Structure 1
C-alpha cells in the first residue's frame, strides 16, 4: 500500500507539472487522495524530493493539493462565508486566507526540502534561493491582509465594546511580521540549517494558526455584527491598502449608504449577542459599547478626513515640524503657518503677489515653477541650502482639486539637519520619568 500511495502521489504531481489544474485533479483523484492521512504527505514528498523525481517548481503546486485535499475541511462558518458574492470584503478576507495557508504550507515544505538535501547536492542552491524568495514575499501579508483588518475592521468591533480580541490579534500580527523579518535576515546570513529550519517551521505554524483564528472566530463574528453600510464603507476604503495575491471583483453590490465607526449604533442586541461565537462571548463578556463619545461637535469644520475646531486647526499648523505657505491660483499669498518658521512671514504678506516675496534674482525660478504647475506638469520642485550649520529642504507642490484642476502652490520648508544624522532604528521611548 505504501508504494501505491507514492505512485498515486507521483501520478498527481506529474499531471500538475504538465499543467493540469487542481479542480480537474480533484475530480480524478479526490477520493483516493483523501484516504492518505495528512501526516503521511510530507513523508511521501520527502521521498520524491530525495529521489530527484520532483524539483523546486513543483513545491508550490503541491501546496495547492495540501490546501484542497488535506487542509480543506471547511467549517460551517466557512461555508457560510463562501456563499457571499465575490467582492464582498468578508469573502475577500477569506479568499486571502486560502492563499496565506497555501504559502504557509509552501514555507514548511520548502524549508524541509532545502535542509534535507546534502550541502553538496546541486539542487540545494536552487531550493535555498526559492526559499529566500518565498519568505521575502510573505511581508505582503502584513502590508495588505493584516493592515486592512487593523485599520478597517477592528474600529467597528472596538466601538461595540469588543476590545480584547483586536488587541490580541494585532499583537499576533506583529509577532508574525517580526518573525518574517527575522527569518529573512537569518537566511541572508546563511545561519545554521537547524536554526533556519526551526524558524521557518515556526513561522509556518504561526501563519496557519492565524488563519484558523480568523476563519473560525473573527470572521463569523464579523458576519453576525456588521451591517451592509459598514461593509460598504470598508469596501470603499480597502483598495487603498491593497490585497494579498487575489484579484477582487465587484460582483457584490449594496444600495446601503456607507457607515463609518463614529456613525454607527454600537449597541448589540441580546439576540445578536447570542449568535456570536462562544470564544468571543468568553472574552468580551457582556458588551459595554462606546456610546459616550461624539465625534462631531458644535462649530466643528468638516474636513475631508475628519472634523476640527478652528482652535485645533490653528494649533496644528503652529505645531507642524515644518512651515508651509500657500499661494492661490492667482499667484497671491493666501496663508502661512504660524509657530516657529525658518523663513519669516508676517500678516503684511497676505494678498501679496508671490513674486514680490522673493529676491528679484530668483523671480524667474518662481514663475517657471508656477507656470509648470498651472500647465499640469505636477512634479514637485525641490531645493536644499545651507544656513550656517543647518541643512534646509525647500519643496513646492501643486495643489489640485478632485478633478485635477490647479488651486495653487504649497511651499514646504524643513530643517533636516537632525534627520540627516539619523542611523539605524529607534523603536523604544527613552523619556526620563
Structure 2
C-alpha cells in the first residue's frame, strides 16, 4: 500500500474527527477514495485505532465518504430513477438502498475495527456496543424496505408472468433476515472474535449484493413496466409498512387513478418487453401473464379489503377459532358467528338488547363499558375467566366508522388454554 495514500487517508479521518464538513472532503479527496480498495480501509483504520487517533463515530462518518466510490459510477438506469420526483415510491426505494449500502459498509468497518482491538483495550467495549446497536438497527430493513417490495411491488410483476425474479429476491431477503437474527444472537452471547467478524463481514456482503440486484435489475424493470396508476396504489399503502431511515417528501403527485394488480392488463407489449433489462429477459423468456383469473365475480360483496360471496363470508365466520358478537349503536345484538362457540348463541338473541343477554348482577358493568365506548374510549375492555380447566379470554372493542363515530361494540371470545402453553417457535417450514 502506498505510504502517501495512507497518510492522506489518516489526514481525512483526523479532519472528520475535528468536525470538518463531509461534502468538502468528498470533493477534495474523491480521487483518492476511488483508488482505495475496501480491503485497504480496515488496515489503515486499525493502525489509527492502535494510535488512539480515531473513535467509533469517525468510522461511521467515513462510510459517507467512501461508499459511493467503491461501488462504481451510478448506472444510466440509476440516474433515471434519481431524477424521479421525491416521494415517488421507486425513488424512495432507491434512496433507502443508498442508506442500506452505507450501513452495510459501516458494518464491515465496525466489525474489522472492533476485533482488531485487544480485549484489554478500554475502547473495545465502546466499539462492541456500537456494533451491537448497529446490527440491531439493521433488522428494520426486513420490516420496511424488503416487506414493501414483497407485499406491494412483487404482485404487479407476478401478474405479468414474471414470477422467478420475485421468488429469488424474496429468498435472498429471508437469507439476510436470518443472518441478521443470527448475528444479533451471537453478539449477545459474545462469541469468539473470528466467528463474529466472519458473520458480520458476510452480512455486509449480502446487504450490498441485494442493493445491486435491486438497483440494476429490479428497479429498471419496475420503471419500464409499472404505470402511474400502479405507483399511485403503491404510494397509498406504503406508509402502513414504513421506511428505512429516509424521510419521504410528498413532492410526487399524479392524477392517475390507483390500480391494484387484479385491475391491470397483465399483457406486456413487445416494445415494452424490449426495454426490460437483459437479465430479466434471460430469466423470463416468453412472458405468460396471469390473464385467466377474475377476482370479482357476480353477486360478490365488495368489502374494504377484498371480495367475498355470502357463502364464503358465512363459512369464514364459522371457521374462525374465536366467538364474535356484534352489538349496534342502539345496544341491540345484530350478529354472531356460527360454528363451535364457547358462549352459546341462538337466533333468538338477534335484535335483543345486549343488557338482557347478561346476568342482572353484571348489567351495570356492561352499561359502563358501552358508555365509555360511546364517549370515545378506544381501548378494549378485557377479561379472562376459568371454565373448568380452560382459560377463556374475553374482549370488547368499540367499532368506529371512518370519521371516528361510534357504530357499535364487538365482543371477541377465545379459548387461550393451549396458546398459553406455547414455547419457542414453530414456523411455517416446520409444518408436516
Does the alignment reach a TM-score above 0.5? Answer: yes
- Three-state SS of the structure 1 residue aligned to 2:4 is helix
Q: 2:295 aligns to what?
A: 295
Aligned counterpart, 2:237: 237
Aligned-pair CA distance for 1:121: 1.0
TM-superposition CA deviations, 1:95-116 (whole Å, max 9, x none): 0001100111011011111111
Query: How far apart, in 2, do the equivalents of 1:38 and 1:176 lie?
Result: 21
1:357-368 matches, cutoff 5 A: 357-368=357-368
1:223 aligns with 2:223: yes
How far is the alpha carbon of 1:68 from its aligned partner?
3.3
TM, length-normalised to structure 1: 0.97
Question: CA–CA distance in 2 between the matches of 1:223 and 1:431?
Answer: 38
Partner residue in 2 for 1:199? 199
How much has 1:16 moved relative to structure 2? 2.4
Q: How high is the TM-score relative to the length of structure 2? A: 0.97
SS at match of 1:140: helix
1:213 alignment counterpart:
213
Q: Distance in 2 between matches of 1:50 and 1:253?
A: 53
Structure 1 residues 430, 177: CA separation in 2 closer, same or farther (over 3 Å shift)? closer
Shift of 1:57: 1.3
Larger mean Cα displacement after TM superposition, 4-13 or 191-200: 4-13
Q: Match of 2:141?
A: 141
- In the alignment, is the contact (CA less than 8 A) between 2:373 and 2:406 conserved in 1? yes
Runs of 4+ in 1 over 4 A off after TM superposition: 428-432
By how many angstroms is 1:326 displaced? 0.3
Note if contact 2:331-2:408 (Cα within 8 Å) is conserved in structure 1: yes
Match of 1:411, SS state, is strand
Q: Is the 8 A contact 2:34 2:66 kept in 1?
A: no
Question: Is 1:171 matched with 2:193?
Answer: no
**Alignment partner, residue 93 of structure 1:** 93
Whole-angstrom distance in 1 between the partners of 2:304 and 2:21: 47
Gaps (5+ residues) in structure 2?
none
Matched, 1:420 2:420: yes
Residue number in structure 2 paired with 1:313: 313
What is the deviation of 1:31? 3.4
Following the alignment from structure 1 to structure 2, what is the Cα–Cα distance between the partners of residues 74 and 42? 25
Distance in 2 of aligned mates of 1:282 and 1:32: 38
> In the TM superposition, what is the alpha-carbon distance from 1:45 to its structure 2 partner?
2.1
Does the residue aligned with 2:241 lie in a helix, a strand or coil?
coil
Matches within 5 A, 1:330-409: 330-409=330-409
Instruction: Name the SS of the counterpart of 1:240 in structure 2.
Output: helix
Q: CA–CA distance in 2 between the matches of 1:360 and 1:26?
A: 76
Shift of 1:337: 0.4
Deviation string, structure 1 residues 182-219 (Cα, Å, up to 9, x no partner): 01111111111111111111101000000010000000
| Whole-angstrom CA distance in 1 between matches of 2:280 and 2:177 | 25
Give the 3-state SS of the residue equivalent to 2:136 in structure 1: helix
- What secondary structure sits across from 2:418 in the alignment? helix
Corresponding residue for 1:55?
55
Determine helix, strand or coil for the equivalent of 1:382.
strand
The alpha-carbon deviation at position 12 of structure 1 amounts to 2.1
Aligned runs of 1:28-47 on 2, under 5 Å?
28-47=28-47
Deviation string for 1:220-249 (max 9, x for gaps)? 000110000000100111000000000000
Closer, same or farther: CA 297–409 of 1 in aligned 2, 3 Å: same
In 2, distance between residues paired with 1:361 and 1:166? Answer: 58
- Which sits farther off after the overlay, 33-42 or 248-257? 33-42
Gaps of 5+ in 1: none
